[in-house]
């Protein structure tokens, strides 16, 4: 029978330890954080339009601030090493994070900063259990402001973080977001959101029309200046 010397046993034990550590690191590197969860962004056109409206208007609001990241339907992974803990807010805003492309929002790669503001737009397909899980997720992972809008019933709910817990906003009529500074106005027929400058959030179609009209005005002004012999910058 072969017998290992004490030195050989020590070397073998050391090698086994290094192998286990190397294998563990390899397993960690194999963790994949998918960019998609297989779920549709929206269930109907109205829900989709509201998601786009909020996301695009917030993008425009913070266009001049390089350290505000706005995204729609982007998977958020708050815990490194666990790709099952995730959700995709309809719209989220992260202050203190740079703009730019992301396949997903991996919090440990974002200086451990959680999105501070989250919006969810309801559809008939959303179930109470699903929304409860979302609330627990946002409460657990430090969202500061959470808003849920039901366009079918024109119902808006909001929560803000107080004493490290998401607490309901008692009255959303005229409510001003502490972080975004936007104002919510509810009527019998619709929800209106106003920017800090008083301008109303516009739909994607309205935004496109506004852009086109502003471009036409700019082209006309440039043509008029050329007639006067003035070159526009």
Q: In the CATH hierarchy, which top-level class contains the domain 45-201?
A: alpha beta
Q: What is the pTM of this model?
A: 0.78
Q: Tell me: pLDDT of 27 over 70.
A: no
Residue 23's pLDDT band, with cuts at 50, 70 and 90, is very low
Instruction: Write the DSSP assignment of 39-100 as a string of letters.
Output: --S-SSHHHHHHHHHHHHHHHHHTTT-TTEEEESS--EE-STT-TTS-B--SEEEEETS--S
pLDDT per position as a tens digit, 72-116: 999 999 999 999 999 999 999 999 999 999 999 999 999 999 999
pLDDT per position as a tens digit, 117-169: 999 999 887 888 899 999 999 999 999 999 999 999 999 999 999 999 999 99
**Order of strands across the sheet that contains 68-71:** 68-71, 91-95, 117-121, 145-150, 155-162, 165-168
Extended beta strands in the chain, E state:
68-71, 76-77, 91-95, 105-106, 117-121, 145-150, 155-162, 165-168, 183-186, 191-194
């Amino acid at each position: 029978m072969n017998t290992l010397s004490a030195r050989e046993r020590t070397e073998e034990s050391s090698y086994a330890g290094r192998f286990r550590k190397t294998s563990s690191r390899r397993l960690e590197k194999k963790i994949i954080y998918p960019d998609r969860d297989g779920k549709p962004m929206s269930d109907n056109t109205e829900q989709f339009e509201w998601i786009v409206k909020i996301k695009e208007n917030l993008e425009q609001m913070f266009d001049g601030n390089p350290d505000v990241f706005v995204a729609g339907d982007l998977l958020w992974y708050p815990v490194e090493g666990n790709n099952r803990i995730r959700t995709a807010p309809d719209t989220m805003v992260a202050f203190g994070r740079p703009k730019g492309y992301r396949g997903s929002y991996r919090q440990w790669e974002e200086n451990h900063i959680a999105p501070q503001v989250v919006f969810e737009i309801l559809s008939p397909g959303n179930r109470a259990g699903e929304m409860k899980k979302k609330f627990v997720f946002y409460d657990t992972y430090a969202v500061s402001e959470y808003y849920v809008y039901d366009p079918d019933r024109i119902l808006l709910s909001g929560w803000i973080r107080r004493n490290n817990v998401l607490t309901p906003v008692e009255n959303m009529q005229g409510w001003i977001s502490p972080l975004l500074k936007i104002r919510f106005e509810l009527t019998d027929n619709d929800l209106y959101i106003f920017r800090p400058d008083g301008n109303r959030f516009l739909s994607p179609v309205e935004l496109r029309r506004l852009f086109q009209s502003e471009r036409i005005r700019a082209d006309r002004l440039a043509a008029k200046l050329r007639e006067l012999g003035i070159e526009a910058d």
